[in-house]
Structure formats: C-alpha cells, structure tokens
Chain A
Amino acid sequence: MADVQDTIRERAAALLSSGEVSAVIGWGAGRFDDVRFPLVVKRAEDAGKLVFDASCVQMTAKRLLEHTGEGKVALVARGCESRAVNRFIADHQLTRDQVYVIGVPCPGMVDPATGETLKRCAECQVRNPVVHDELVGDPVPEPKPYRFAEVDRVEAMSREERRAFFDEMYGKCIRCYACRNACPCCTCRECFVEQDKVGWQGKAFNVNEARYYGMIRAFHTGDRCIECGECERACPMGLPLMVIMHQQVRDIDKLFGPYEGGGLTDSGPDPLRTYKTDDIEEFM
C-alpha cells in the first residue's frame, strides 16, 4: 500500500497547490504505530502527513460535512466513504461539485486490538469506490462475504433469549451517541434525542431509555444504511449494533425488492420513503 500512500500524498499536494480544493480529508499517524486518526490537510506542504495503510479503521466521510462552505473539499474515499458521499448527496447534505473524490480500492483494514480483519471490513460488500473523480491504485476483487451470520444466530433464538440479548446490549449502552455521530445517515440538524422540549427521549439512565434510543435510531437509518459498520466500530462499549441494521436490511431486501444497502447511487427514493400499490399485504 506504500505506492498508494505516495500517490495520495502527491495528488493531495497537487490539488491543494493548484487551489482546486481547499482541504483534503484522509488519515494521519496517531500516537502508536497501529493508530490512525482522520486528518484534514489544508496546506500543500502538509500533504506528507497523510497516511494510508491497514490501520485506517475510521470511516472519515462525516468530516466532509464539517467543511462544507469552504469551497471544494477532497476526500480520500474507499468503498464505504464513497457510498457515504452518495448518501450525503441523496440526503441533500452536499452537492456533487462540493466534493472531489480520490478513490482508493480497499483491501480491508486490520483491527489493532485483535490483529485480524476489522469486523466491518470482513462484512463489506463494496470495496471499490462507487463514485470517484480519480482512482488511486488498481481495483480490488469484491469477495461479497455473507454478512447476516449474527442475524441468523439471534433469529434462531427463542423470543425470551432475543429479549435477553437486547436487554444485555442496551443495558450496556452508555448513551454517548457516538454511533449517531459516526453515522453518515445521521445528518439531522436536530436529532430526536436532543428535542428536549418534545421529550420523546427521556434523560434517565436505564435500559428502557437506551432501548428507545437504540431502536429508534436504528429505524431512522434502517432503509438508508450504507452498511459501513462505523456505528458498531465507534461504539466504546463494543455493542453489536450491526445486528439490528442487517436485520432491517435483510427484511427490506426480502419485502421491497433488492436492497444492496444505501449509497450505491446518489438518488432516492429510499425503500421506506416510497411505496408500491401492490406491496404485499399482511395486515388485513
């Protein structure tokens, strides 16, 4: 990946010095060898600080929204970031001409804690950028691994066990909202959890309020989810948040036609924001 990193640096320097973009978003070195952080480079001489290797675990696309209004911004985008760009465009957070996409086919990242493939990469369906202005490196094969193993496991449990599973999961949630902040679908100016005067989301720290938050957030993003797995990766409690996302994705796929996850194109409508008069009927 060394030449990819070199090319990214070169291209970032060129784009910044020509003034075509005002910033380049990628990854920079962290305090340890295997730790990377999202990095926003604004001067051509800093382009050498950009890093690209198997430790770039974060999905950086959300940083784009912090820099809209600063002119065109370049984003180093793998499959997941490129789908997030499409998601932003479909959700009217961004226009295509506000972002310059430096596409990078992704070989998959390594979880620094275990040394194995990062979970969200092991479930990834789209490694090559679906949208890009230029491509750095050669396209990689798409293994399209099976991503519903955990859903199968939970689905096979009895109702009480499933309830116990989610009780334990939401019982551990500390409601830090990191999952929301990381998610490219969660771009509302005012999130329902912060509508204090409306008061849908209670402030008490207990499993019911965490369940309310977790399930409603999952439902808000269920039909737009790009399956990047960043919510789960960002969760400081290590909760298996993708199980409820994948469960919805699979149901939407079964009921309303092929759903390969949002973000494959930059246009709607999303499955729960449209209807067909001949949708199956089960509520007679």
Chain B
Amino acid sequence: MPRDNEQTGEFTPKILAFCCNWCTYAGADLAGLNRMNYPADVKVLRVPCSGRVNPQYVLKALQSGCDGVLVCGCHPGDCHYSTGNYYAKRRMMIFKRMVEFAGLSPERFQIRWISGSEAGKFRDTVVEVSEQIRALGPMENDAPSRAAIDAVAGTVASPEADEELFAAAKEAI
C-alpha cells in the first residue's frame, strides 16, 4: 500500500485514535474550535468509553494497515460511567506489555488520558505520536531482520514438531 505523500514523497502514517465520547473526543473538538494545527495522520474513532475498546481492536488495526494506535479516555476518576477507564487501564497495561513482549515497537501502541478541556494536550499528543511513528516508518518495518531470524531459528518449537509434516500440511491448505 503506497502511503507516501504525493507531493513531498514523505511517508504519511495511518494512526487510529480511539477517543472516548465524553473527554478526549470533546478535547479534540475543542482543539478544532481553537483552530489548532496537527498532522492529519491521526484518524479519530469515537467510542462511548475507553472501557469499550476491546484490546483485540488494537491488534486488528495494526494488522489491517494502521501504523500506530492511540487509545484515549478520561483521566482515572473522571469517567462518565464512573469506572470504565479503570478497567481499561488494567487491560491495556497487560495487553501493551504482551504485544511488546511479542515484538511490537512500543511507540506503535499508546494510551493517554485527555480530558475535554485539554485541547492543547490532544494536539501535543497527536504531534508527538505522529512524529514517533514517522520515525519508525510503516508497520512493515517492524518485521525482523535476517540476523534476528537466524538468531532464534530452531529455538522455538520443540524438536518433536515434525518439520516435514508441517511443510506438507501447509502445502495442502
């Protein structure tokens, strides 16, 4: 998928931002009202609450062409539904560690609390995340180098896994 800016030839990332309806979305709205400038790399997706963001959406987005995902909600204690973001926080803490353990660049998945009055923080966050992802390049850059593949080759599956059987199975499918 060519994602280079046609005029400048520069890579423009696709970043998906889950924004909760009550805080971050309002913050983004306020940023617009105040005519703040920020890169158009971020696509805002409004959700009722950060607790609504099933962690599988994050992985799905990263596998479906997004170069980064931002999950934003109200500050803990300020949730419109009282507790949604507390649950989100625990889930995202564990899920973030898990995907990073599995080799995702940490910058590609970030979580921030932005309130309805923090238009400036919304702008700064978007600018910051966008710069980080521009530096990383497209999602495909996360793929391991030949040296890394060779370094772990053969240390993954136990020897009982029959390579030939596996190759034949893969061919048959």
Contact = CB atoms under 8 A, between A and B. Distances in A.
Given A164-B152, A275-B89, A279-B89, A200 B173 contact: no
Contact of A165 (B60, B77, B104, B155): B155
A163 B144 contact: yes
Given A219-B95, A279-B90, 18 more contacts: A113-B160, A161-B151, A162-B101, A162-B103, A163-B102, A163-B103, A164-B144, A164-B152, A165-B103, A169-B156, A172-B157, A192-B56, A211-B63, A215-B98, A237-B157, A247-B97, A248-B94, A279-B89
A272 B103 contact: no
Contacts of A218: 98
Contacts, number: 150
A237 B113 CA distance: 42
A159 interface: yes
Contact of A158 (B98, B148, B157, B170): B148
Nearest to A216: B56
A168 B154 CA distance: 9
Contacts of B1: none
Interface of B: 55-56, 59-60, 63, 76-77, 83, 86-87, 89-95, 97-105, 110-113, 142-145, 147-149, 151-153, 155-161, 166, 169-170, 173
A208 B63 contact: yes
Interface of A: 113, 154-155, 157-169, 172, 174, 192, 200, 205, 208, 211-212, 215-216, 218-219, 222-223, 236-240, 244, 247-248, 251-252, 255-256, 271-277, 279, 281-284
A215 B87 CA distance: 19
Contacts of B155: 165
A222 B112 CA distance: 23
Given A216-B56, A218-B98, A166 B160 contact: no
Contacts of A236: 161
Contact of B94 (A155, A158, A272, A283): A272
Contacts of B83: 275
Contacts of A155: 101
A251 B102 contact: no
A263 B170 CA distance: 37
B148 A160 contact: yes
Given A166-B103, A205-B170, A222 B98 contact: yes
